Chains A and B, each alone.
Chain A
Amino acid sequence: MSGELEQRLLALGSALDVPPAPDLVPAVLTGLPARRRRPHRPAGRVLAVAFAILLLLASVAMAVPTSRDAILRAIGLRGVSIERVPRLPPLPAGARTGARLALGRPIALAGVRHATGFAPLLPPRASSAYIGHDVPGGRVSILIGRVLITEFRGTAQPFVFKVIDPNTSVKTTRVNGAQGVYLSSAPHQVLFGASNGQIRSDRVRLAGNVLIWQHGPLIVRIEGTRTLAQALAIARSLRG
């Protein structure tokens, strides 16, 4: 394929960022649907943005606003980065044996709030709860059947994930008013800023689907649900 054509398209794309025309920003973003309706179909927001761009290209002769960041935010990709790697580091020893997921010390759910230096979100019921110290500030892990909720102090945004499966699907969503990301179909590793300022990585404990979001100073993760709807229902049940 012609590299020259790609360069011309990039130049055209760059021209979109040049002349400031703030009044056009709302025109680009107005009416964009809230979320993609079905997987493996063009995202509605992207579609709307693309047509808006092309319409503006035709009608205002390049006088399109500085809107790349706004567009990326609108389509929900801003702050999400996916890195595909050949393999992930192994889980801690014994992590795959039954309930021994290297979650730390068992603790009663009622005692979790007193055992941590932060205010965790707690579900109304749980099978078991654990306190770990592998993350600065400590980590709370709560099992509800085969679903694992993990919470610790840190910064997840921008969301950075390492995945090993090219079929991993990534979907941005709103979780209790915050931006969240839902990854399905593959184990993965999450990079985050720990409370001591260092960049750390953490591998999810359960293969499968994971919902992750930032709740104030906490990173909250729900692993092992079958669907996004189930994960969101659990997220809504959590109380601080």
Chain B
Amino acid sequence: MPSAESEALAGEERAHLAAAVARLRDDDQLIIAARFFLGLSEAETAIALGLRPGTAKSRLSRALGRLQQQLESMP
């Protein structure tokens, strides 16, 4: 059973990640939310956003790259 301390750390880590996502541009937020928060597959994400599968995949990759940069720039 996780300790209160580890739960607090996990919550802090999630909040940090959520804050980084919230700083991304709108279309990056959208594709990350669809893929990871709604739990859609890559194919479903493409359908939901009206994109071709290859386009959705490349946009997601770029969005993750910008998220990584955002995380590294945050204190």
Measured CB to CB, the residues of A under 8 A from B are 1-2, 5-6, 8-13, 15-16, 36, 38-43, 46-47, 49-51, 53-54, 57-58, 61-62, 68, 71-72, 75, 77, 80, 82, 84, 166-167, 169-170
Q: Are A42 and B30 in contact (CB under 8 A)?
A: yes
Q: Which positions in B face A, CB cutoff 8 Å?
A: 11, 13-15, 17-19, 21-22, 26-27, 29-30, 32-40, 43-44, 47-54, 61, 64-65, 67-68, 71
In the complex, A61→B17 CA distance in Å? 12
B47 touches A50 (CB 8 A): no
Contact B48 A54, beta carbon cutoff 8 Å:
no
Q: Which chain B positions have C-beta within 8 A of A2?
A: 64, 68
Given A43-B48, A54-B33, A167-B52, A9:B40 Cβ within 8 A: no
A-B contact count (CB 8 A): 105
Residue from the list B19, B26, B36, B54 in contact with A58, Cβ < 8 A: B19
- CB neighbours (8 Å) of A38 from chain B are 50
Q: Enumerate chain A residues within 8 angstroms of B21, measured Cβ to Cβ.
A: 9, 54, 57
For A46, the closest partner residue in chain B by CB is B48
A1 and B64 contacting across the interface, CB-CB below 8 Å: yes
How far, in angstroms, from A62 to B12 measured CA to CA in the complex?
A: 10
Name the one of B11, B30, B39 contacting A13, with C-beta atoms under 8 angstroms. B39
